[in-house]
A = this chain, B = another copy of it.
Amino acid sequence: MKKLINDPRAVVDESVEGFGLAHADLVTVFADPKYIVRKDAPVAGKVGLVSGGGSGHEPLHGGYVGLGMLDAAVPGAVFTSPTPDQILPATLAVNSGAGVVHIVKNYTGDVLNFETAAELAQAEGVEIRTVLVNDDVAVEDSLYTAGRRGVGGTVLVEKIAGAAAERGDNLDAVAAIGDRVNQNVRSMGVALTACTVPHAGSPSFVLEENEIEIGIGIHGEPGRHRIPMENADGITDRLLEPVVSDLGLTSGEKVLLFVNGMGGTPQSELYIVYRRAAQQLAAQGITVARSLVGNYITSLEMQGCSITVLRLDDEMTALWDAPVHTPALRWGV
A→B interface (CB under 8 Å): 2-7, 11-12, 14-19, 21-23, 55-56, 58-59, 63, 192-193, 209-210, 212, 229, 231-233, 235, 263-276, 278, 288, 291, 293, 295, 298, 300-301, 303-305, 330-333
Query: Which of B272, B295, B300 sits near A14, CB closer than 8 Å?
Result: B272
Task: From A231, A272, A288, A298, name the one whose CB has the most chain B CB atoms within 10 angstroms.
Answer: A272
Q: Which residues of B contact A303 (CB under 8 A)?
A: 2, 264, 301
> Does the CB pair A275–B18 fall under 8 Å?
yes
Complex CA distance for A206 and B51, rounded to whole angstroms:
41
Complex CA distance for A278 and B23, rounded to whole angstroms:
12
Closest to A291 in B: B22
Complex CA distance for A170 and B82, rounded to whole angstroms:
54
Nearest-Cβ distance from residue A77 to partner chain B, whole angstroms: 12
Q: Which residues of B contact A276 (CB under 8 A)?
A: 18
Query: Which of B6, B14, B15, B231 sits near A5, CB closer than 8 Å?
Result: B231
Closest to A17 in B: B275
Given A2-B209, A2-B229, A263-B266, is A18 in contact with B56 using a C-beta cutoff of 8 Å? no
Nearest-Cβ distance from residue A37 to partner chain B, whole angstroms: 17
Copies in the complex: 2
Complex CA distance for A230 and B73, rounded to whole angstroms:
31
Contacts A5-B231, A301-B303 known; list 4 others, CB within 8 Å: A14-B275, A18-B272, A18-B293, A264-B266
Complex CA distance for A193 and B196, rounded to whole angstroms:
14
Complex CA distance for A45 and B56, rounded to whole angstroms:
47
A contacts with B: majority SS: mixed
> Does the CB pair B4–A267 fall under 8 Å?
no
Given A22-B291, A278-B21, A293-B22, is A268 in contact with B11 using a C-beta cutoff of 8 Å? yes
Nearest-Cβ distance from residue A177 to partner chain B, whole angstroms: 24
> Does the CB pair A4–B192 fall under 8 Å?
yes
> Does the CB pair A272–B11 fall under 8 Å?
yes
Given A6-B232, A271-B19, is A295 in contact with B295 using a C-beta cutoff of 8 Å? yes
Nearest-Cβ distance from residue A11 to partner chain B, whole angstroms: 7
Complex CA distance for A210 and B1, rounded to whole angstroms:
9
Closest to A292 in B: B22
Q: Which residues of B contact A298 (CB under 8 A)?
A: 266-267
Q: Which residues of B contact A11 (CB under 8 A)?
A: 268, 272
Complex CA distance for A110 and B16, rounded to whole angstroms:
39
Given A3-B192, A4-B270, A278-B22, is A265 in contact with B209 using a C-beta cutoff of 8 Å? no
